[in-house]
Amino acid sequence: MRLNTRLYLLPAGSPGNCISLRSLGCSLFFALLIITLSEQSLHANPGNRAVARTRSQHGADTPTYGAVKTAVEVFRQASKSVVAIYNYGDSGTLQSLGSGIVLPSGDVATNYHVIEKAGRLTVIYQGKEYPAKPRYIDRFRDVCSLDAPGLQALHVRLGSTKILNVGAKVYAIGSPKGLELTFSDGLISRLREVDKGYYIQTTAPISVGSSGGGLFDENGRLIGLPTYFLNQGQQLNFALPVEWITDLPNRHAIQAKANGVETEWLNKVNTEEEQQDWGSLLDICKRWSAALPQNCSAWRYLGFAYIQNGDLPMAIAAYQEAVRINPGDAHYWSDLGAAYGRAGQQANKIAAYEQAVTIDPDSENSWINLGVAYLDNGNSEKSISAYQQAVRIAPDNVGSWTQLGIIYGRNDQKEKQIDAFRKAVRINPDYSNAWLNLGSAFQNTGQFAKAIEAYQQAVRINPENSDAWIKLGFSYRDATQLSKALESYQQAVKINPQNSNAWVCLGVAHGMAYNETEELAAYQEALRVNPENNIALFNLGHDYLEHGNQNKSLEVYYRLKLVKPELATIFFNDFNHLFYPNIPH
CA distances from 355 to 226, 230, 334, 339, 349 (A): 37, 41, 8, 15, 10
What's the pLDDT band for 36 if we cut at 50, 70, 90? very low
- Higher per-residue pLDDT: 26 or 522: 522
Mean pLDDT over all residues of the chain? 83
pLDDT of residue 27 exceeding 60, the answer is no
pLDDT of residue 182 exceeding 50, the answer is yes
What's the pLDDT band for 577 if we cut at 50, 70, 90? confident
- Gyration radius of the chain's alpha carbons: 28
Of 431, 478, 415, 394, nearest to 14 (Cα)? 478
pLDDT cut 70: percent of the chain above it: 83
Determine the distance from the C-alpha atom of residue 289 to the mean position of all C-alpha atoms in its chain, rounded to a whole number: 35
pLDDT value of position 62: 39
Rounded Cα–Cα distance for residues 562 and 565 (Å): 6
Cβ-based neighbours of 156, under 8 Å, separated by 6 or more: 78, 81, 101, 102, 103, 104, 214, 221, 222
29's enclosing H/E stretch is none
Q: Where in the chain is the domain with CATH 1.25.40.10?
A: 16-42+444-579, 257-428
pLDDT value of position 473: 95
Rounded Cα–Cα distance for residues 266 and 490 (Å): 56
pLDDT value of position 177: 64
pLDDT value of position 208: 63
Instruction: Say how many Å lie between the first and final Cα of the chain, rounded.
Output: 21
Is residue 77 a contact partner of residue 220, using CB atoms and an 8 Å limit? yes
Q: Where in the chain is the domain with CATH 2.40.10.120?
A: 71-246
pLDDT of residue 317 exceeding 70, the answer is yes
Rounded Cα–Cα distance for residues 411 and 380 (Å): 7
Residues 236-247 have a mean pLDDT of 90
Point out the least confidently predicted range of 44-48, 97-101, 120-124. 44-48
pLDDT of residue 46 exceeding 60, the answer is no
pLDDT of residue 136 exceeding 60, the answer is yes
pLDDT of residue 160 exceeding 50, the answer is yes
pLDDT value of position 20: 29
Assigned fold of 16-42+444-579? 1.25.40
Rounded Cα–Cα distance for residues 518 and 541 (Å): 15
Rounded Cα–Cα distance for residues 69 and 169 (Å): 11
What's the pLDDT band for 256 if we cut at 50, 70, 90? low
DSSP 94-105: EEEEEEEEE-TT
This prediction has a pTM of 0.58
Dihedrals φ, ψ of 198, to 5°? -135, 130
Determine the distance from the C-alpha atom of residue 522 to the mean position of all C-alpha atoms in its chain, rounded to a whole number: 31
What's the pLDDT band for 41 if we cut at 50, 70, 90? very low
Is residue 31 a contact partner of residue 538, using CB atoms and an 8 Å limit? yes
Asked if CATH classification 2.40.10.120 holds for the domain at 71-246, the reply, yes or no, is yes
pLDDT of residue 336 exceeding 80, the answer is yes
pLDDT of residue 384 exceeding 70, the answer is yes
Report the CATH number of the 257-428 domain. Answer: 1.25.40.10
- Higher per-residue pLDDT: 213 or 260: 213
Point out the least confidently predicted range of 138-152, 381-395, 511-525, 564-578. 564-578
Point out the least confidently predicted range of 277-291, 306-320, 352-366. 352-366
pLDDT value of position 48: 37
Point out the least confidently predicted range of 89-103, 252-266, 309-323, 374-388. 252-266
Of 199, 193, 300, nearest to 254 (Cα)? 300
pLDDT value of position 397: 87
Rounded Cα–Cα distance for residues 252 and 266 (Å): 13
Of 470, 516, 523, 518, nearest to 494 (Cα)? 470
The 3-class SS string of 202-251 reads ECCCCCCCCCCCEEECCCCCEEEEEEEEEECCCEEEEEEECHHHHCHHHH
pLDDT of residue 12 exceeding 80, the answer is no
pLDDT cut 90: percent of the chain above it: 56
3-class DSSP state for residue 138? Answer: strand
| DSSP code for 201 | E
Of 304, 40, 274, 56, nearest to 162 (Cα)? 56
Give the torsion through C-alpha atoms of 369, 373, 379, 380, to 10 deg. 40
What's the pLDDT band for 33 if we cut at 50, 70, 90? very low
pLDDT value of position 283: 96
